[in-house]
Amino acid sequence: MTVMTERPHLLPEEFEALARIGAREIEGLRLEFIDGVIRSKAMPDGDHGRIIQWLTRICIQRWPELWLHQGHGIKAQEYRTGRAIPDAVLADKDAFVGQGDWVDPESILMAVEVTSWDSDTHRRDRVEKPRAYAETGIPVYLLIDRAKCEVSVYSRPKGRRYEDVHVVPYGADIALPDPVGITLQTEVLKDWVR
């Protein structure tokens, strides 16, 4: 048996075309392409949306010239071969103007994920996304983990991982390091878990 190693099974451009078709055909379908694997991403529920609203307000108060953009697909991983849809990213308000469906991540200061209640949350948000965002060079990855009632902050990307990872339970304060430079008071997150 011969194994093809010269070309991935699916090129990023082929995935993008497939994702466009899926989005048109099945309302609410959101596809990602990480480590050469296509995955679907759950639609956010009301508590998920409220957490993003809370974080948006905090970010705007600290950095009025920045936006917490939601729903943008980004070119992720080494050589920008992956395609991820973070729940939100912190970047300049005009960072993605004119870029199309999958934006260049160069101007992203922080990627944010809020865990969902689907079966692949562990693999996607706790394993694949930190690696993909580190490979991409995104300075800060914020994971708000509703299943564990924890907030994790990943910083100092180096290769396939982040050098610093800080985890606190809901209710504790946690600093988002530079270039974000915000301290989150997480007590309120206790109100938005099942």
Does the predicted TM-score (pTM) go above 0.75? yes
> Which DSSP string corresponds to the chain?
-----SS-SS-HHHHHHHHHHHHHHSTT-EEEEETTEEEEEPPP-HHHHHHHHHHHHHHHHH-TTEEEE-S-EEEESGGG-EEE--SEEEEETTTTTT--SEE-GGG-SEEEEE--SSTTHIIIIIIIHHHHHHHHT-SEEEEEETTTTEEEEEEEEETTEEEEEEEEETTSEEEETTTT-EEEEGGGGGGG--
pLDDT digits (tens, 9 = 90+) for 120-131: 777 888 989 999
pLDDT by residue, tens only, the chain of 194 residues: 333 344 456 777 777 776 666 554 566 567 777 777 777 776 777 898 999 999 999 999 999 999 999 988 899 988 778 899 999 999 999 999 998 888 999 999 999 999 988 777 778 889 899 999 999 999 999 999 999 999 999 999 999 999 999 999 999 999 999 999 999 999 999 999 87
* Structural domains of the chain, with CATH: 45-192 (3.90.1570.10)
